[in-house]
Amino acid sequence: MPRAGLSREVVVAEAARVADEVGYDRLTLAAVATRLGVAVPSLYKHVDGLGELRRDLTVLALRELGIALASAVERHGVDGLRAVADAYRGYARSHPGRYASTLRAVDPHDHDAGAASRDLLQTVFSMLARYGLSGDDAIDATRSLRAALHGFVSLEAVGGFGMPRDVDRSFARLVQILDTAFLDWRPERRSS
């Protein structure tokens, strides 16, 4: 019989906390079970192994990140790019394990992960639409944005910025560069 108060949501929430503390790559069922005060086999009543737990963590993280980005855009409107960048960086800093779970593309056949990913992307596409970007251009711009932000937050997380300059100022300059690039974006020319 499942432990009172233990549910799939509780297990996933604890896994998220563990991942944030020890790293996504070090997330184990044993660590989650220990934190919940149960034996590992008790977790199998709620999740079908580490793979499913990681998948559920990814869905949770994509939803959280999507909400953070959407809230930022809603609050800041016109300065949507800066809001998205700040929210993205803030989420990666506050939830490093959860953030790491969002890096791989989701299984296209996974309804929940796909929906969470689409919601997040819709926020980014809406923000990019203010630059007149849509279709393939919006996809390319989204990939550029994600690569730039991920690169920055990943280097920052491991202490990769050792030069004597304010990191926040460098981040602001990166966002400014992205803004300029998106304002000056030229549609891809197609060969006939």
Q: Which of 139, 6, 19, 120 has the alpha carbon at shortest distance from 62?
A: 120
SS3 5: coil
pLDDT attached to residue 164: 85
pLDDT attached to residue 189: 62
The predicted-structure confidence for 125-154, as pLDDT tens digits, reads as follows: 999 999 999 999 999 999 999 999 999 999
pLDDT attached to residue 1: 42
Contacts with 112 (C-beta within 8 Å, 6 or more apart), sequence order: 59
Residue numbers of the chain with a pLDDT score lower than 70 = 1-4, 78, 188-192
3-state secondary structure 72-137: HHHHHHHHHHHHHHHHHHHHHHHCHHHHHHCCCCCCCCCHHHHHHHHHHHHHHHHHHHCCCCCHHH
The pTM of the full predicted model, rounded to 2 decimals, is: 0.91
